[in-house]
Structure 1
Amino acid sequence: MTQQALFIIFGGTGDLAYRKLYPSLFRLYEKGYLKDDFAVIGTARRPWTNDHYHEVVMNAIADDGHESDRTNSEIARKFASHFYYQSHNVNDTEHYVALRKLADKLDEKYKLNGNRIYYLAMAPRFFGTIAGHLKSEKLITDHGYNRLIIEKPFGRDFETAKELNDDISAAFSEDQIYRIDHYLGKEAIQSIAALRFGNQVIESLWNKEHIDNIQITLAESLGVEERAGYYETAGALRDMVQNHILQIVSLLTMQKPSEYTAKELRDRKVEALQNIKVYSAKEASKNFVRGQYGEDAEHEQLDYRHEEGTDEHSQIETFVAGKLETTNGNLTGVPIYIRTGKRLARKSTQINVVFKDTTDNIFTATGEQDTKLEQNVLTLYVEPDQGYQLDLNVKNGSQGYGIMPIHLEYHKTSAEKAKVPEAYEKLIHDALDGNRTNFAHWHEVAQAWRIVDVVRQNWDSQKTDFPNYVSGTMGPKAAQELLTRDHRDWVFGATKH
């Protein structure tokens, strides 16, 4: 089914538009989801022409990995011809008047029926200003649909997030606001519901009687790179935990929806986050660990404080580990261990569901040495691998009755991964369809801030002796001690897959 819509991209000259939005729109065009009845207006301060804008779009497609003969083909040029550029100052009312005139002209030319998607690919401080002008200068149509897509970060804490939401909500209703968290567009994250509720054997075990703990790891091997300036104002807690990790937590701990709809899923996720304990300052100190990477002399890599754009006395964390407590239904009391960091041993995003020990090991009576039963672990690989692994205990095949662990694994092949739509392609597709299932609701965002605000405020009130972990490791020792005190270990380690 094709869609008719006008996209107005604020920040059309930016990195996000170039790397993600233009290639994603092209893929939708190649697949026939967008055809002749669409148009894109890119806006920013730079004084570009339409012709230059077309070249930028073509280059974005090429840099995304499409073969050069295809990007020079008629289909790519025809796609780029739907793009229009207007130099724009978001604070200048007259610029919105000119933007409205161009939008109305394109609406008529391409028969778009008043359908408009406004994509704010800019700093959040401009969101309220843009939304207000879209309403006051009548860019919001009174026929067709109007949808506002906004990127994280949604504020810096609960108060600023609420202020931002209030500003946007003055112009757009909640059902018109699409808050992108690109992790919700990833295939493996979208598959959590299918795994939990599409398999009776898994669903029957997904409870406190059988699950010992849940671990979520978002590990990166690179440092902050060109994002150092941003990281100095955000840190790993705001950048990764408040959004990506807590969204994953909500999907892992929510109760079963009565049906798979946007509203049901949202309600269950909100409920799950509301049932994550909000710690006191003392509890936050006990249950959360922060770190900052040191230099890697062997690979000639600087410590965080000497990266370009950072403060030499910076107290910003590049690593976070924490223990969350849930009271959500049949998972009440199951600890959820989370961690994320830069310059760790290996890049891997994975979820490990650790099942409880077998209480009655009948094989110890056999007299065999290898009769210890390892804990069963279900692993969800998100990236760079995509797949699943289940650790089981079986007979080791020797004389007698020794026991050994085996791994039942499924990993998507390169060909299979190539067929999976990229996260932004999926989410833009959903926005065109009016499907809000994989977008964050305000209540989710608000509760996530309430959870991390206590941690952030606690850290801001004290200093830590940084750096406190060696690049190429799995973070500071305190991250391991977080589990050791509970007589547990991280499943994913420096030498473990």
Structure 2
Amino acid sequence: MDHAPQLIQERSAPPATLVIFGASGDLTRRKLLPAVDNLARHGRLPDQFALVGVARTPMSDEQFAESALGGKSLLDKRQLAGGVRYVAGGYDDPETYKRLAETLDELDAVRGTSGNRLFYLSTPAGAFEPVINGLAGAGLNQATETSFARLVIEKPYGRDLATARELDGVVHGAFEEHQVFRIDHYLGKDTVQNVLALRFANSIFQPIWDRSWIDHVQITVAETLGVGTRGGFYEGAGAMRDIVQNHVLQVLALALMEPPVSFEGENLRNEKVKLLQAIRLPTDRDVSEAAVRGQYTRGGTREELMAGYREEVGVDPLSRTETYAAMRLNVDNWRWAGVPFYVRTGKRLPARLTEVALQFQRPPHLPIPADQLTELDADALILRIQPNEGISLRFGAKVPGHSFRVRTASMNFSYDQTFVEESPEAYERLLLDALIGDASLFIRSDEVQQSWRIVDPIIEHWERDRSPIPSYEAASWGPTDADRLIGRNGRKWRNAS
């Protein structure tokens, strides 16, 4: 008997109020409000949904509604009409949270939001503690059997392991771990999630995803832009804290972890933590060989000359902050023992690129003469996360002609050319997950701590090292030390043209 195919049930948010702290800030304007609008456009938000902004900037409900809805449709403003509120006040002022509680109670009554609240901390990290304590002081951290109270926290989650643990103490003093959603927008990208689909929905890849077949792995997060107007922030962060500790290590964990029992949140995050625990910590002696830093200087062309990092607004003219970081990591487990993992990130590089490249072992014996293999590279599987999202498989193929010559060729899968479906923005997916209560793509407390455990020794070594920081010209692929890092065993970086 034939069975009709089952339709996939589309995911939609329950009745709830989204409360954005830092509602007058840049992240809210550029990412969060457009994400809310897109969710509404695609029918993912119920009529019983409300939006509340909280910030120090004086503003009326009408002014916030205009700023939130003025440039966006939200179904021609009908869906949120009457459901937008604004609470002005200091984050350390109990009166702010008293007014917020009154506003939320009112929305429960007039919008039917059922007492469900999602608090989003789109503020500088210094405001996390007063906001969390303010919510707890007003009783807004309490969930019931029929309603939820959840907290979404942006990075940076601490500056090192010690401060991350201190922040955890504040968070867990007010919220249970299952209420906390630590956000990394990289995990909201379809192409990052496709790493899971590639690995666990295809039987052909699993047998070769280990030390027997893979020579090494490269993960690259390259940016063409400099620090722009974020010089003051970046001075206190650097490439290792800003990108490696979160984005890079999260992508690495998804690419290397063992198969989870299911994609349910805890099972998925358990395997990521196990992988991070297996990464060998660099000793102080090893750091000089296993990690490289750099800082961009003036470069480019006469027509497009780019300023050096120390010339950027808000940057110390004698800054020692790294804008480039590269590391060699080793994973001490059965699957990956002996396979080196090279990760790098940098600003002012020649191309915007995020990819994971798995290079395979060369054949143990080649019966083909060497002069017929002059253009043959090692086989590789490249996962392109951005831009030109997709997958490439690199392999050797015979060149047409009378002689037997072998050259590297590629098979390419492109998201744009294969799927007609529109890929949602990362914040759109993550906001919906947090409203639903799906924590799969959010970071658990022990994940944060394991990531800091890996990068802390390197950061501490660099802070003690008073030798001149290596430099690289803007629009180049980084300091020459990075080429030596990967070249010690005859390997080289995949540098896009």
TM-score by length of 1: 0.94
Structure with the larger helix share: 1
* Worse-matched range after superposition: 309-318 or 296-305: 296-305
The residue that corresponds to 1:458 in the other structure is: 461
* Aligned residue in 1 for 2:129: 128
Partner of 1:302: 307
The 3-state SS of whatever aligns with 2:205 is helix
Quote the residue 2:190 is aligned against.
187
Distance 1:460 1:181, change over 3 A: same
In 2, are the aligned partners of 1:118 and 1:148 still within 8 Å (CA)?
A: yes
By how many angstroms is 1:418 displaced? 7.1
Deviates more, 1:437-446 or 1:392-401: 392-401
Residue 87 of structure 1 corresponds to which residue in structure 2? 88
**Amino acid of the residue matched to residue 315 of structure 1?**
R
Which residue of structure 2 lines up, in the alignment, with residue 42 of structure 1? 53
Residue 381 of structure 2 is aligned to residue 381 of structure 1? no
| Superposition deviation, residue 394 in structure 1 | 1.3
1:346 aligns with: 351
Distance 1:224 1:159 in 2: 27
The answer to whether the 8 A contact 1:19-1:60 is kept is no
Change (3 A) 1:288 1:467: closer
Task: Find 1:443's aligned residue among 446, 461, 467.
Answer: 446
Deviation for aligned residue 1:2: 4.5
Deviation, structure 1 residue 90: 0.9
8 Å CA contact 1:2–1:32 kept in 2: the answer is no
1:344 to partner: Cα distance = 0.3
Q: Structure 1's 2 and 316: CA in aligned 2 closer, same or farther, altered over 3 A?
A: closer
Partner residue, 2:9: none
SS of residue paired to 2:326: strand
Equivalent residue, structure 1, for 2:7? none
Q: Does 1:240 align with 2:251?
A: no
Residues 351 and 417 of structure 1: CA distance in aligned 2, closer, same or farther (over 3 Å): farther
1:356 and 2:361 matched: yes
From 315, 338, 345, the counterpart of 2:320: 315
Which residue is 1:396 aligned to? Answer: 399
Counterpart of 1:286 in structure 2: which amino acid?
E
**Given residue 336 of structure 1, which amino acid in structure 2 is its aligned partner?**
F
Contact 2:188 2:426 in 1 (8 A): yes
Q: Secondary structure at the match of 1:131?
A: helix
Deviations 1:147-176 (A, max 9, x none): 100000000000001000110101101110
> What is the 5 A alignment of 1:94-493?
94-143=95-144, 144-296=147-299, 298=302, 299-364=304-369, 369-370=372-373, 373-413=376-416, 416=419, 419-466=422-469, 468-491=471-494, 493=495
Structure 1 residues 361 and 80, CA, compared in 2 at 3 Å: closer, same or farther?
farther
1:3-49 per-residue CA deviation (whole Å, 9 max, x = no partner) reads 20011111010111111111101111111111310111101011101
The amino acid of 2:80's aligned partner reads F
C-alpha contact (below 8 Å) 1:29/1:79 kept by paired residues = no
Task: Give the stretch that moved more between structures: 91-100 or 296-305.
Answer: 296-305
| Counterparts in 2 of 1:382 and 1:31: CA distance versus 1, 3 Å | same
Q: Which amino acid is the alignment partner of residue 311 of structure 2?
A: H
Percent identity of equivalent pairs: 36
Distance 1:417 1:457, change over 3 A: farther
1:25 match? 36
Report deviation, 1:77: 5.1
Residue 4 (structure 1) aligns with:
15
Give the Cα–Cα distance (whole angstroms) in 1 for the partners of residues 71 and 30 of structure 2. 6
Q: 1:399 to 1:209 in 2, by over 3 A?
A: same
Q: 1:297-326 CA distances to partner (integer Å, 9 max, x unpaired)?
A: 622321100111000000000000110110
| Structure 1 gaps, min length 5 | 62-70
- 8 Å CA contact 1:385, 1:411 repeated in 2: yes
Change (3 A) 1:168 1:27: same
Provide the secondary structure at the position in 2 that maps to 1:321: strand
Between the aligned partners of 1:400 and 1:38, the Cα distance in structure 2 is 69
Deviation at 1:124, TM superposition (A): 1.9
Matched length: 482
Deviations 1:240-271 (A, max 9, x none): 00000011111111111122211111110000
Q: Quickly say closer, same or farther: Cα 1:411–1:80, change in 2 above 3 A.
A: farther
Amino acid at match of 2:30: R
Distance 1:235 1:417 in 2: 38
* Change in CA separation of 1:347 and 1:74 when aligned onto 2, cut-off 3 Å: closer
Report SS of the residue matched to 1:96: helix
Counterpart residue type for residue 268 of structure 2: L
* Deviations, residues 35-84 of structure 1 (Å, cap 9, x unaligned): 310111101011101111112112453xxxxxxxxx3x862354364221
Does the Cα contact within 8 Å between 1:23 and 1:60 map onto a contact in 2?
no
In structure 2, how many angstroms separate the alpha carbons of the residues matched to 1:223 and 1:349?
Answer: 16
**One-letter amino acid of the counterpart of residue 332, structure 1:** A
- Which residues of structure 2 form unaligned runs of 5+? 1-11
SS where residue 408 of structure 1 aligns?
A: strand
Q: CA deviation at 1:494?
A: 4.6
Contact 2:293 2:470 in 1 (8 A): no
Tell me: CA distance 1:494–1:413, structure 2 relative to 1, closer, same or farther (3 Å).
Answer: closer
Contact 1:58 1:77 in 2 (8 A): no
| Alpha-carbon contact 1:242-1:449 (below 8 Å) kept | yes
The alignment yields a C-alpha RMSD, in angstroms, of 1.7
